[in-house]
Amino acid sequence: MDDEKFEISIESLDTLDKENSIIVDIRDNISFEYGCIPSAVNIPLDKIKQDSSVLPKDKLIVLCCKSGQISDTLAEELRESGYNAVNLKEGYYGWLRRKMTDEICADDVEKSIRKKFSKTIWSRFTAAVVEYELVKPNDKIAVCISGGKDSMLMAKLFQELKRHNKFPFELVFLVMDPGYSPVNRSVIENNAQKLNIPITVFETDIFESVYNVEKYPCYLCARMRRGYLYKQAQLLGCNKIALGHHYDDVIETILMGMLYGGQVQTMMPKLHSTNYKGMELIRPLYLVRESEIKRWRDYNNLSFIQCACRFTDTCTTCNNGNSGSKRQEIKQLIADLKKINPQIESNIFHSVENVNLETVISYKCGEEKHSFLDDYDDKP
């Protein structure tokens, strides 16, 4: 049978019989939360694989993944099991690309930061900048943009900070293309244009380099990305790179270190680079909650990419057994604990601010390890 009969186009979604059809997004929960087709329901691929009865047999099932490749394979399998399943051609990113327009919305976005999100985003951004001394006179900062909601918001916040101009500093909005597909790159460039962010793009072959790496390719990719960002920023005369990690990333990292790493540590608001002399890494969204970033995104009707790795187009196991799935477990754990104790998130955050060295068995400072026994006998 003609394969085209088992696919529908993005344009055809508007003509679907809503009563007798359902759009099922088979991406993981994190990807779905980053952005989705408004009428879609999220049933992750692994859940369908475990029990296909979660799907209706009396409706047309339109399957949607990131690019339309994984969902195409699943649709064929489901048809063999008696389901009326078709694939959404080009997937969520195809829908996202068609949703994009050339309309500039920067003014409205900037107004929302100054007014509606003044307390929950702008004030917390500036609080981190001041409290952790992230920006100093004559800094030249490479604001690193991955294309996601966090880094795009960070870029707009830095533009707002620059307008206040309390002291001189420079900004470069840096985008590294590690081998994006044309669709992913066009989404990033289109969003930058809509938000009036003057990006500087440079290209690397990182995706190609890690393609055949079997163990922890995402970890290696992240490390290589950071190295390239440091190097390019330094070439552009910058002394700092800014990354978009937020408050939730911080508390999740604390718990991940304890539960999976057996150590107490946190994601620091700023770090000196060990390989690039004179360079620092700063995290200006350190005090901003992810829920507020999502509210800002949705309020302004913005859509961003999550992981732009072209290899996840056909990979069904990228979150199995690595830090992605572990972080999702921690997110769920925190959500469950919050039902019992609403202060759990702030308590986790403050736990690494209130460390009393007299009440820990041992700790490390640099390469030197210290024990409570070191001076135990000297105390009364």
| Banded model confidence at residue 320, pLDDT cuts 50, 70, 90 | very low
Task: Give the CB-side neighbour count of residue 203, counting CA atoms within 13 A.
Answer: 7
Q: Are residues 70 and 157 in the same domain?
A: no
Q: Is 370 inside a domain boundary?
A: no
Do 60 and 117 belong together in one domain? no
Identify the domain containing residue 139 by its residue range. Answer: 106-313
Instruction: Report the distance separating Cα 360 and Cα 192, nearest Å.
Output: 47
**Residue 349 domain-assigned?**
no
Residue 312's pLDDT is 52
Range with the poorest average pLDDT among 102-111, 134-143, 332-341? 102-111
Q: How many angstroms separate the CA atoms of 158 and 168, rounded?
A: 13
Residues known to be catalytic: 65
259 in the same domain as 168 = yes
DSSP assignment, residue 371?
Answer: E
Determine the average pLDDT of the residues in 309-323: 46
Strand 41-42 and strand 170-177: the pairing is unpaired
The verdict on residue 321 lying in a domain is no
Contact 148, 191 (CB under 8 A): no
Last residue of a domain, one of 32, 65, 99: 99
pLDDT at position 310, please? 52
Assigned domain for 20 exists: yes
How far are the Cα atoms of 73, 136, 210, 218 from residue 214, in angstroms, in the given order?
A: 23, 42, 9, 10
Confidence of residue 255 (pLDDT cuts 50, 70, 90): very high
Q: How confident is the model at residue 171 (pLDDT cuts 50, 70, 90)?
A: very high
Assess whether 138 and 266 both reside in one domain: yes
Domain CATH code at residue 75: 3.40.250.10
Considering only CA atoms, which of 175, 208, 215 is closest in space to residue 192?
175
Q: Which structure tokens are listed for 203? A: 């290209």
Same domain (yes/no): 60, 200 = no
Query: Is 356 contained in some domain?
Result: no
Least-confidence region, from 81-95, 99-113, 124-138, 320-334: 320-334
Task: Examine the domain organization and report whether 269 and 169 are in the same domain.
Answer: yes
Q: What is the pLDDT of residue 187?
A: 86
Residue 191 maps to a domain: yes
Q: Nearest Cα to 332, choosing from 264, 259, 243?
A: 259
In a domain, 333, yes or no: no
How many folded domains does the chain comprise? 2
Predicted confidence (pLDDT) per residue in 278-308, tens digit: 999 999 999 999 999 999 999 998 888 766 5
Residue 3 has a pLDDT of 55
pLDDT band at 341 (very low <50, low <70, confident <90, very high): very high
Widest CA span of the chain, in angstroms? 86
* Alpha-carbon torsion (198, 204, 153, 237), positive or negative: negative
Query: What does the pLDDT read at residue 211?
Result: 72
CA dist 72 and 53 (Å) reads 19
Write down which residue in 40, 72, 99 finishes a domain: 99
Strands in 21-25's sheet, in edge-to-edge order, are 7-8, 85-88, 60-64, 21-25, 41-42
d(CA 284, CA 270): 9
Task: Evaluate whether 322 touches 307 at the Cβ level (below 8 Å).
Answer: no
115 and 94 within one domain: no
CA distances from 157 to 127, 178, 373 (A): 12, 25, 48
93 and 15 assigned to the same domain = yes
Same domain assignment for residues 243 and 95: no
Give the C-alpha separation, 118 to 299, whole Å.
14
Residues 91 and 153 placed together within one structural domain of the fold: no
Q: Is residue 379 part of a domain?
A: no
The letter for the amino acid at 90 is E
Domain limit, last residue, from 55, 83, 99: 99
Neighbours of 72 (CB within 10 A): 19
Answer yes or no: do 140 and 223 share one domain: yes
Please, which pLDDT band fits residue 221 given cuts at 50, 70 and 90?
Answer: confident
Q: For residues 228 and 212, what is the distance between their CA atoms, to the nearest angstrom?
A: 20
Average pLDDT over residues 173-182: 89
How far apart are the C-alpha atoms of 333 and 252, rounded to whole Å? 10
Percent of the chain with pLDDT over 90: 67
Q: What is the mean pLDDT of the chain?
A: 89
Tokens of 124: 């917390």
Please compute the mean of the pLDDT values over residues 24-49 and round it to a whole number: 89
For 43, residues 6+ apart whose C-beta sits below 8 A from its C-beta are 24, 25, 26, 54, 55
What CATH number should be reported for the domain holding residue 207?
Answer: 3.40.50.620
Read off the pLDDT band of 170 (50, 70, 90). Answer: very high
Q: What is the pLDDT of residue 318?
A: 42
User: Which of 10-19, 111-120, 184-193 has the highest average model confidence (pLDDT)?
Assistant: 111-120
* Residues 6 or more apart in contact with residue 273 via CB below 8 angstroms: 230, 279, 280, 281
Shared domain for 118 and 90, answered yes or no, is no
pLDDT in the model for residue 309: 60
E-strand spans in 298-377? 362-365, 368-371
